[in-house]
């Protein structure tokens, strides 16, 4: 050790730290540099901080304090940082503030480098989703249905108080009844309660009603204001966690009790090719069906084109997604919910509307016992994403006395079935693609090619942390 070795000599030529260094050196970080205003005291270079962060995440190191320690103790981190020693606060500010809205650009450049080198293709992608538990208190939840129930109960009690006041003080409340007792706003509730209170002033009323009125005056306006704020956070969701409002309560498959508990989580959608992640998106909706549109839009935003083919499981097999893929001219190898059952030769459930036989020439549906169901008109409905679905309604002529009536349906009167002929046609086209030679090979390899998973210990500290972790976990 008379002549101390350099860090360069102590690191193997093919060590992963050298790969991280080379890749980050090749990408354009101008969007990241624009996040820095310049001026002031000297700062650490963003490219160096990005290298440290990527290499740390590749080694399952997520704590900024552990990164700070590694920069003083680990020769690979020391070499990568050029002996710079940013503290944990600097690392945290960089990944939470500077990388925000820039990470996707960095990620896409790395994917394009891999594509140019022939390691992956952006023409064929395999898409799947996984739910990642948030680092949030699972017992501090807010439910949209509970808010609706509370507001409905408040409306009924407000109506009851008004009716009572009208009986006691008819003259005082004449022609003053509000158009609605629904708690549309805190101010509306406050005004209604004040009218009741003024009308009952000096009147002999029961102790119970006086207590109810005092409670309403003290609590209801504040409660309505609280509900308004909660509904604003909820948006279109039905739940959120108070300790992480972005997280939605979802049923987790990997629960150790195997009882499918609801936990605060995120739905992470990932697309891969040759076991490399090429696109990822975070969603608050627990179902995969409604995520495909925005997921594909993100792919187009990153690479300026759509993939030529997309493979996904039955969780994406909806009419909306089939139409979306057709409009984007993407060959969709996407199963519908009955595909595997049909392929295994299992008997169909002939009571389900989708499985009833259709006579196109006569435009009728045959019920399970073979009786014709006539076309009685069209109907439309919209999905959570706003997709318009057109249904043709068919009604049986006489269900009374049918031997399978109870097993067939629970509707009053004759059964009515809504059929989407477009969905039937799209399902048939999907079956043709999936059972073709190319489709069979894709289905065989899909499990190996799209095996995307994060470590079991992964929990979200922030949304940007999760994005970064997904970005660089190439399995």
pLDDT tens per residue across span 246-261: 999 998 875 566 666 7
Q: Are 183 and 148 in contact (CB under 8 A)?
A: no
The residues, ordered by sequence, that sit 6+ positions from 15 with a Cβ below 8 Å of its Cβ are 76
State residue 364's pLDDT score.
94
Domains of the chain, start order? 7-100 (no CATH), 142-240 (no CATH), 248-343+427-472 (3.30.420), 353-422 (no CATH)
Give the C-alpha separation, 213 to 428, whole Å. Answer: 62
Please spell the DSSP secondary structure of 372-427, one letter per residue: EEEEEEEEEEE-TT--EEEEEEEEES--TT-TTHHHH---SSS-EEEE-HHHHHHH
pLDDT of 247 reads 94
Cα(395)–Cα(415) distance, integer angstroms? 6
Q: What share of the chain is helix, strand, coil (3-state, %, to 5)?
A: 45, 15, 35
225: Cα separation from own chain's centroid? 27
pLDDT, tens digit, for every residue of 161-210?
888 888 887 777 766 777 778 887 888 898 888 888 888 887 878 888 88
**pLDDT (0 to 100) of residue 175:** 67
Please determine, for residue 380, whether its predicted confidence score (pLDDT) is greater than 60.
yes
Whether 468 shows a pLDDT value over 60: the answer reads no
pLDDT of residue 121 exceeding 50, the answer is yes
Let me know: does 248 contact 284? Beta carbons within 8 Å.
Answer: yes
Quick one: CA torsion of 247, 248, 254, 255, rounded to 10 degrees?
100
Strands of 5-156, DSSP E: 124-133, 141-143
Q: What is the pLDDT, as a whole number, of residue 257?
A: 64
**In whole angstroms, how far apart are CA 467 and each of 222, 450, 462, 464?**
37, 18, 9, 5
Mean pLDDT computed over 354-375: 92
pLDDT of the residue at 259: 67
Average pLDDT, whole number, for the chain?
Answer: 87
Rounded to whole angstroms, how far apart are CA atoms 259 and 254? 9
Give the residue carrying structure tokens 């002939």.
Answer: 350
For CA atoms 351, 353, 354, 358, give the dihedral sign: positive
Under the banding of pLDDT at 50, 70 and 90, the label for residue 447 is low
Instruction: Report pTM.
Output: 0.80
- The three-state secondary structure class of 62 is coil
* pLDDT at 133 > cutoff 60: yes
Q: Is the pLDDT of residue 402 over 80?
A: yes
Q: Judge residue 462's burial from the number of C-beta atoms within 10 Å of its C-beta, 0-12 exposed, 13-18 middle, 19 or more buried.
A: middle
Residue 381 confidence (pLDDT) above 80:
yes
Distance (Å, rounded) from C-alpha 304 to C-alpha 44? 33
Judge contact between 140 and 241, C-beta under 8 A: yes
Give the pLDDT band of residue 469 (cuts 50, 70, 90).
low
Min mean pLDDT across 143-147, 228-232, 281-285, 466-470 is at 466-470
Please check the confidence at residue 157 and state whether its pLDDT lies above 70: yes
CA–CA gap between residue 97 and residue 95 (Å, rounded): 6
State the pLDDT at residue 470: 47
Per-residue pLDDT, 185: 87
Q: How far apart are CA 226 and CA 186, in angstroms?
A: 9
Position 458 confidence tier, pLDDT thresholds 50, 70, 90: very low
pLDDT level of residue 448 (50, 70, 90 thresholds): low
């Amino acid at each position: 050790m008379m002549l101390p070795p350099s860090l360069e000599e102590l690191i193997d030529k093919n060590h992963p730290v050298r790969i991280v260094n080379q890749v980050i050196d090749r990408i354009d970080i101008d969007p990241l540099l624009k996040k820095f205003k310049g001026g002031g005291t000297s700062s650490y270079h963003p490219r160096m901080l990005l290298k440290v962060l990527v290499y740390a995440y590749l080694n399952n190191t997520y704590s900024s304090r552990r990164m700070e320690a590694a920069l003083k103790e680990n020769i690979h981190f020391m070499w990568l940082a050029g002996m710079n020693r940013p503290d944990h606060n600097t690392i945290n500010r960089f990944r939470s503030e500077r990388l925000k809205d820039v990470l996707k650009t960095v990620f896409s450049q790395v994917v394009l480098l891999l594509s140019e080198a022939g390691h992956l293709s952006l023409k064929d992608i395999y898409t799947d989703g996984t739910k990642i538990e948030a680092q949030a208190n699972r017992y501090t939840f807010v439910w949209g249905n509970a808010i609706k129930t509370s507001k409905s109960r408040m409306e009924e009690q407000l109506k009851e108080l008004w009716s009572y006041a009208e009986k006691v003080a008819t003259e005082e409340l004449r022609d003053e009844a509000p158009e609605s007792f629904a708690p549309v706003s805190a101010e509306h509730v406050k005004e209604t309660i004040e009218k009741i209170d003024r009308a009952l002033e000096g009147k002999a009323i029961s102790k119970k009603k006086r207590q109810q009125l005092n409670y309403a005056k003290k609590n209801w306006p504040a409660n309505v204001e609280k509900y308004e704020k909660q509904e604003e956070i909820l948006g279109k969701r039905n739940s959120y966690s108070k300790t992480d409002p972005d997280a939605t309560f979802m049923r987790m498959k990997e629960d150790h009790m195997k009882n499918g508990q609801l936990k605060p989580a995120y739905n992470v959608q990932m697309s891969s090719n040759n076991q490399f992640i090429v696109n990822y998106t975070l969603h608050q909706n627990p179902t995969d069906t409604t995520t495909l549109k925005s997921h594909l839009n993100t792919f187009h935003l990153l690479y300026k084109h759509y993939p030529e083919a997309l493979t996904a499981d039955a969780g994406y097999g909806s009419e909306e997604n089939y139409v979306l893929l057709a409009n984007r001219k993407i060959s969709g190898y996407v199963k519908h919910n009955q595909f595997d059952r049909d392929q295994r030769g299992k008997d169909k459930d002939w009571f389900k509307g989708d499985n009833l036989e259709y006579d196109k020439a006569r435009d009728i549906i045959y019920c399970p016992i073979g009786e014709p169901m006539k076309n009685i008109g069209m109907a439309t409905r919209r999905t959570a994403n706003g997709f318009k679905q057109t249904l043709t309604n068919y009604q049986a002529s006489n269900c009374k006395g049918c031997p399978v009536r109870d097993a067939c349906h629970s509707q009053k009167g004759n059964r009515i079935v809504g059929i989407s002929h477009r969905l039937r046609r799209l399902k048939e086209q999907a079956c043709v693609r999936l059972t073709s030679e190319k489709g069979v090979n894709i289905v065989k390899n899909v499990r190996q090619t799209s095996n995307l998973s994060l470590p079991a210990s992964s929990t979200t500290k922030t949304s940007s942390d999760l994005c970064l972790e997904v970005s660089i976990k190439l399995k």
